[in-house]
Chain A
Amino acid sequence: MAIPLKYNLRNLAVRKVSTGMTVLVVGLVVAVFLFVLALWQGVERTLSVTASTRNVLAMRVGAQAEMQSVVTRDQSEMIQALPGIERNSRGEPMASPELLILINLLRADGKTTNVLVRGLAPVGLEMRPVRMTEGRMFNAGTNEVVVSRNLGHRFASMKIGDAIKTGAYRWVVVGYFDAAGSAYESEIWTDVKDLQAQSKRPILSSVFVRTPDSASAQRFIQTIAGDQRLKLEGKTEKKYYEEQMVTGAPLKVLAILVGVFTAVGAAFGAMNTMYAQVSARTREIGTLRAIGFTKGAVLSSFLLEGALLCLIGGVLGTLVAFVAFNLILTRPTGTMNFRTFSEVLFNFRLTPPLVAAGMVFSLGMGLFGGFFPAWRAARLKIVTALREV
Chain B
Amino acid sequence: MKFFHLVWRNVFRKKLRTILTTGSIVLVLVLIVVLVSLLQAMEADPSGGKGSNRLVVQHATGLGNFLTLSQRQRIEQIPGIAALTPEVWFGGVYKDDRPENFFGQLSCDPEIFFKVFDDATIDPKIEKTFRENRNSFVAGQKLAEKFQWKPGQHIILKGTYIPITLDLVYAGSYRAGDESSIFFSNEVLNQSKWAGANKFTGIYYLKVGNREDIPRVVTAIDKMFENSDAPTKTMTEKQFQLQFMEMMGNVKGLIRIISLVILFAVTLIVANTVAMSARERVTEIAVMRTLGYRRSHILSFILSESVVMALLGGVLGVLLAKYFFIPGMVKGMETSPMAPFLLNFKVTIPTLAAAFGVSVGVGVLAGFVPAIRSSQVRIVDGLRQVV
Give the complex CA separation of A315 and B23 in angstroms: 25
Q: Which of A200, A262, A272 contacts B28 (CB 8 A)?
A: A262
Residues of B263-290 contacting chain A, CB below 8 A: 264-266, 268-269, 271-273, 275-276, 280
Stretch at the interface among B57-65, B144-152, B183-191: B57-65
Min C-beta distance of A367 to chain B, whole Å: 16
Assembly CA distance A246 to B341 (angstroms): 13
| Given known contacts A31-B261, A200-B229, A17 and B266 CB-to-CB distance under 8 angstroms | no
Out of A246, A249, A261, name the residue touching B27 (CB < 8 Å): A261
Cβ–Cβ < 8 Å partners of B62 in chain A: 102-104, 114, 166
Quick check: B337 and A250 within 8 Å, CB to CB?
A: yes
Which residues of A lie under 8 Å from residue B35 when comparing CB positions? 258
Q: Tell me which residues from 239 to 282 in chain B have a Cβ below 8 Å from any Cβ of chain A.
A: 243-244, 246-251, 254, 257-258, 261-262, 264-266, 268-269, 271-273, 275-276, 280
Q: Identify the closest chain B residue to A372 (Cβ).
A: B16
Nearest-Cβ distance from residue A311 to partner chain B, whole angstroms: 17
Give chain A interface residues in 1-52, CB to chain B under 8 Å: 17-18, 21-22, 24-25, 28-29, 31-32, 35-36, 39
Q: Is the CB of B160 within 8 A of A257?
A: no
Interface of A is mostly: helix
Q: A276-B276, A341-B64 are in contact. Are A265 and B28 (CB under 8 A)?
A: yes
In the complex, how many residue pairs between chain A and chain B have their CB atoms under 8 Å apart?
A: 188
Within 8 Å CB of A18, what residues of B?
272, 275-276
B161 within 8 A of A: yes
Residues on B with beta carbons closer than 8 Å to the beta carbon of A31: 261
Give A20 Cβ to nearest chain B Cβ, in Å. 9
A334 to B248, CA, bound (A): 8
Residue A58 at the B interface, CB < 8 A? no
| B272 lies within 8 A of A272 (CB) | yes
Q: Are B269 and A265 in contact (CB under 8 A)?
A: yes
Q: Would A67 and B21 count as touching, CB distance under 8 A? A: no
Instruction: For chain B, residues 21 to 74, give those with C-beta under 8 angstroms from any C-beta of chain A.
Output: 21, 23-24, 27-28, 30-31, 34-35, 59-65
Contacts A113-B247, A276-B276 known; list 13 others, CB within 8 Å: A21-B272, A28-B261, A63-B163, A70-B195, A102-B64, A103-B61, A166-B60, A167-B65, A258-B35, A265-B262, A265-B269, A335-B251, A336-B247
Q: Report B's interface with A, CB cutoff 8 A.
A: 16-17, 20-21, 23-24, 27-28, 30-31, 34-35, 59-65, 91, 93, 97, 99, 158-161, 163, 195, 229, 231, 233, 243-244, 246-251, 254, 257-258, 261-262, 264-266, 268-269, 271-273, 275-276, 280, 329, 333, 336-338, 341, 387
